[in-house]
Structure 1
Amino acid sequence: MSHLLLISDSAELRQHVADAARTRISVIGARPIPTGPSQLFQQLGSGAAIPQIVLIDTDAGLDDALSLSGRLSAEVPGMAIILFSEQPDSLALAALRAGARDVVRPDADPDELRDVLNRAVQSVNGAQQGHGDPASNGNASTKGRVIAVVSPKGGVGKTTVASNLAVGLARAAPLSTVLVDLDVQFGDVASALNLDPDYTLLDVIRGPAVQDSMVLKTFLTQHPTGLYTVCAPLSPADADEVTTADIVQLLQTLAAEFRYVVLDTAPGLNDHALAAMDQADDLLLLTSLDVPGVRAMRKELDILRDLGLSFEGRHMVVNFADSHSGLSKSDVEATIGTGVTLLLPRHRGVLASVNQGVPLLQNDGRDPATKQLRKLVGRFTTGAMQSVDTTEPTPVGGRHRVLRKRAQR
């Protein structure tokens, strides 16, 4: 029989269920009843098997039992929920609305309870046989597209671009996109999206969440646009607990569950950023339109080339584009030795959106910055995102030579 979990404080009911199931069951107390799947899995403890059938004793609190049933049904697809109640007939409609499969009396005949459990097992098995990978529309051999947003320096708008890209992808594919904050010391994806997460990266890579993809989803923070997020730890000191192996395992799991996995990495090339790049299908390189930013990007591209990291989807985005900066797109291309995919203009609306925690693409604005960000999203969603030209452009003009010399210092 499938793994059973009983939530009850009644020793008599525990024995009754064990006798009917004819197998060992897991039990946790019902005072209080867990408020959601993540709390439930935490009570089970690290290493515990994820239950396929959950039986809830409503004697500890009917409203709490119905609430937990509803959340388990919505957030852990394929799980069967059974409620125990002294008045099963009067509870039937409310239980159905809460996603429960059956309601049975605590003192039900053992054969009746066994039939209820057998029907639950059949429903679980049927759900597992019909379960397809959401990232691949039923094709288990296909993984989601992992997009790493990277930059050599901070302050170039990397989190702003990453969060807008993720929101745009989520609006195009609701519940199929996840944004991971891999700036484990000072990440601010939560701030960029105006989120107050209950769980962070540490919770996701530790305990029951890392063992089962369905459990993992209950530890993610959901944005109003349908975007899932993994937010950075609350304290910079917690970064030491996140290993590159943790990052690799997490990204592989997420890529099996989501169509798009967007990674907001820390500036530079630390171990976490390199692990993210190693798992990525697309590398979105971001720099600002100024000499220090362009110079740093040239160095980063040289290092990636030396490390042998090459990407079919390597995309160069220049932020804070301004006609008064003294630099042009061709200046940047000549200096870094590769083409520029997209220019994001400097616009006062960007700063307002950052301060409000509302990405531009969360709304339907028509300003130049929003239009360019929408183009960036469209290149991924339409499949038209092509790798840029990586050949060395021929420098033309004195400024190119000056920039190139400064980048090589």
Structure 2
Amino acid sequence: MTDNSNDRPNDLAAKSLAVIAPLPRISIQAFCETQEIARLVEQATADRRMEKAHVKVQMGGGAAAAEAYRNAPTPNVVLIEGDAHRERLLETLDRLSQVCDNDTKVMVIGQVNDVLLYRELMRLGVSDYLVPPFGVVDLVRSLSEIFRAPGAEPVGRVVAFVGAKGGVGSSTIAHNVAWAMARQLKLDSVVVDLDLAFGTAGLNFNQDPPQGVAEVVFAPDRLDAAVVDRLLSKCAEQLNLLAAPATLDRVYDFHEDVFDPLLEIMRANVPCAVLDMPHVWTAWSKRALIAADEVVIVASPDLANLRNAKNLIDLLKAARPNDAAPRLILNQVGVPKRAEIKPGDFAKALDLEPAAVIAFDPGLFGAAANNGQMIAETAPSNKVNEVFTDLAKRVTGKAETRRSKRPAIFEPLMAVINRKKAG
């Protein structure tokens, strides 16, 4: 809260000299009540430190925000402008909480310079409470501190896609799910192609960047967020690629922790990083799988895939006892004249229900691959796009948290409101 009270240190001179860290690749949606605040937020988007953030400004305040997210995913940050009525603000936040994802952060611009209200909102988990007058720099600083403050949770998660066997379509599914994250869920996402020798992400996205993930591993001493940002190739709005060189002029034998710094940078700067894992078994590939926040195993319904998938699942469960089990996708189901294991029997043998079963459709997927496009581009009405969107929701946590329960940061709101009414 911007105020001149003694509630927290407010040394304006120190603030003016403090370095404001650039915001990561996040999405911010502001719902304003007044044109003055709307203009201020618009002005903030032009600040150099907001360059990576995607900002959308709308009118209508918290009520409009609650309505907007009934059937739409929430962004990384929701900024709402409230009025001077204390109870109405709390009720608005409660309505918003019912349609808000658990990992969405909320910032409130109020009209009352009230230290008690500020403390109350902080206890409830609201990220910050600003009161006019404040400037563009104050707003940018507040947004930056949400993600850069000591102890702040990482911005995003790392999702690894791996094939139980070569040729099962793991890369294709990884790329299409990443596309759904960016285009349907509006999450800034990066595809990291770790198949350095034979990676297909550049082909699938019709990109041929001169630099990519090879520069990360062959020059680790200069790796930082700025370097990674320069290596990214833009595939679409809110979707970038860290491409593999896909050349054989060198071998790609690395130490097991070679990608650790890259994954740390991704978690701190991107809502979702999709690792397109090669079908190899090395120290570094094993470590990357175990370190990922989510692992998706893609398999075709035959015996070799069943054996390999079981080995992967058993290893990951043992190495990650406190994490969720890997997700299983059965792909290329229904190949003519091929003897297959029925999806139900495949799942029963693994004691793991498939997150999706995708039918064999060489015409659809072949056309997209040859055009360097995603399925949503070549066949936007095809039902498989719904599968990719559902998978995107699952691996980003959107499917589990959305409206399944009121987010923890807002749980005390109704108690606060009820106490006020009872009083």
Tell me the TM-score range normalised by the shorter chain.
Answer: 0.5 to 0.7
Alignment of 1:34-183 (within 5 A): 77=49, 129-130=141-142, 132=144, 140-172=152-184, 174=186, 176-183=188-195
Establish whether residue 187 from structure 1 lines up as the match of residue 199 from structure 2. yes
Give 5+ residue unaligned stretches, structure 1: 1-51, 53-72, 80-122, 387-409
Larger radius of gyration between Structure 1 and Structure 2 = 1
Alignment of 1:9-408 (within 5 A): 77=49, 129-130=141-142, 132=144, 140-172=152-184, 174=186, 176-207=188-219, 210-240=222-252, 242-307=254-319, 311-312=323-324, 314-322=326-334, 326-347=340-361, 348-362=363-377, 365-380=380-395, 383-385=398-400
What is the deviation of 1:297?
A: 1.3
What is the deviation of 1:247?
A: 0.5
Q: 1:212 to 1:256 in 2, by over 3 A?
A: same
Aligned with 1:341: secondary structure?
Answer: strand
Q: 1:323 to 1:237 in 2, by over 3 A?
A: closer
What is the deviation of 1:321?
A: 1.7
Could you say what the CA RMSD is over the residues aligned between the two structures, in angstroms?
A: 3.7
CA distance in 2, matches of 1:136, 1:174: 22
Contact 1:208 1:215 survives alignment (8 Å): no
What is the deviation of 1:368?
A: 3.4
Deviates more, 1:123-132 or 1:221-230: 123-132
Contact 2:313 2:326 survives alignment (8 Å): no
Deviations 1:205-259 (A, max 9, x none): 4559954313421211110343111111242354436443231110110110000
Q: 1:75 to 1:132 in 2, by over 3 A?
A: closer
Aligned with 1:289: secondary structure?
Answer: coil
Aligned with 1:236: secondary structure?
Answer: coil
Identity of aligned residues (%): 22
What is the deviation of 1:372?
A: 1.9
Deviations 1:313-345 (A, max 9, x none): 521110012286543221101222322221011
Deviations 1:268-292 (A, max 9, x none): 4322321211221111111012222
Higher RCO (C-alpha under 8 Å, 6+ residues apart):
2
Contact 1:170 1:227 survives alignment (8 Å): yes
CA distance in 2, matches of 1:158, 1:178: 16
CA distance in 2, matches of 1:260, 1:124: 28
Normalised to the residue count of structure 1, the TM-score between the two structures is 0.58
CA distance in 2, matches of 1:142, 1:312: 18
Q: 1:228 to 1:76 in 2, by over 3 A?
A: farther
Aligned with 1:169: secondary structure?
Answer: helix
Instruction: Tell me the amino acid that sits aligned with residue 230 of structure 1.
Output: L
CA distance in 2, matches of 1:238, 1:375: 39
Aligned with 1:244: secondary structure?
Answer: coil
Deviates more, 1:236-245 or 1:136-145: 136-145
Deviates more, 1:356-365 or 1:177-186: 356-365
Deviates more, 1:314-323 or 1:125-134: 125-134
Aligned with 2:276: secondary structure?
Answer: strand
What is the deviation of 1:356?
A: 1.5
Aligned with 1:194: secondary structure?
Answer: coil
Contact 1:201 1:231 survives alignment (8 Å): yes
CA distance in 2, matches of 1:326, 1:204: 41
Instruction: Tell me the amino acid that sits aligned with residue 217 of structure 1.
Output: D
CA distance in 2, matches of 1:135, 1:173: 20
Contact 2:331 2:359 survives alignment (8 Å): yes
CA distance in 2, matches of 1:165, 1:139: 30
| Count of residues paired in the alignment | 273
Aligned with 1:318: secondary structure?
Answer: strand
